[in-house]
Structure 1
Amino acid sequence: MKPIFFIAAIALLATAPARSQPLVDPNKVAPEFREAAEKRRAEQLRQRECALKADLEKVLPRDRTAFLNQCLDTMAAKQ
């Protein structure tokens, strides 16, 4: 029984941690896709800003999606 736990522990330690999606760098994208990359980066920054607002306001997980959608809609309306 001990070898099973030992192998399971090694398997858990050997796995890489999950990472969030990195910000798109328009300078590292082919020139024909640069405009789309710039738009994607702007969207990612808006999403991160709204997520930070949700964290600061301590929004409950069940209400987080609605809060983020409302935040993104108000940001889009401002532009």
Structure 2
Amino acid sequence: MKPFLFIAAIALLAMAPARSQALVDPNKVAPEYREAAEKRRAEQLRQRECALKADLEKVLPRDCTAFLNRCLDTMAARQ
């Protein structure tokens, strides 16, 4: 039993922490890709804003995808 616990502890310590996707920084990409990076960053900001709205409205996890899709659609319609 002790070897199993030892191996499990080593495996847990060796795992890298999961992180969310970082925002794209258009200034750190090559000039030919800067326009695409700016569009990606704008999309990431819209997604984060909708995720924050979902958290504030306490949307259930099962309804979160539908909420985020509706939120992104309404944001796209406004533009």
**Normalised by the shorter chain, which TM-score bucket?**
over 0.9
RMSD between superposed Cα atoms in Å: 0.6
CA positional deviation for 1:4: 1.3
Q: 1 CA distance for matches of 2:13 and 2:74? A: 43
Residue 61 of structure 1 is matched in structure 2 by: 61
Off by >3 Å, runs of 4+ in structure 1: none
Name the aligned partner's letter for residue 17 of structure 1.
Answer: P
Residue 23 of structure 1 is matched in structure 2 by: 23
CA positional deviation for 1:21: 0.5
Residue 75 of structure 1 is matched in structure 2 by: 75
Name the aligned partner's letter for residue 64 of structure 2.
Answer: R
Q: 2 CA distance for matches of 1:47 and 1:63? A: 16
Q: 2 CA distance for matches of 1:14 and 1:75? A: 41
- Gaps (5+ residues) in structure 1? none
Q: 2 CA distance for matches of 1:21 and 1:41? A: 11
Residue 7 of structure 1 is matched in structure 2 by: 7
CA positional deviation for 1:6: 1.0
Name the aligned partner's letter for residue 52 of structure 1.
Answer: L
Q: 1 CA distance for matches of 2:7 and 2:76? A: 51
CA positional deviation for 1:42: 0.1
Give the TM-score, by structure 1 length. 0.96
Name the aligned partner's letter for residue 9 of structure 1.
Answer: A
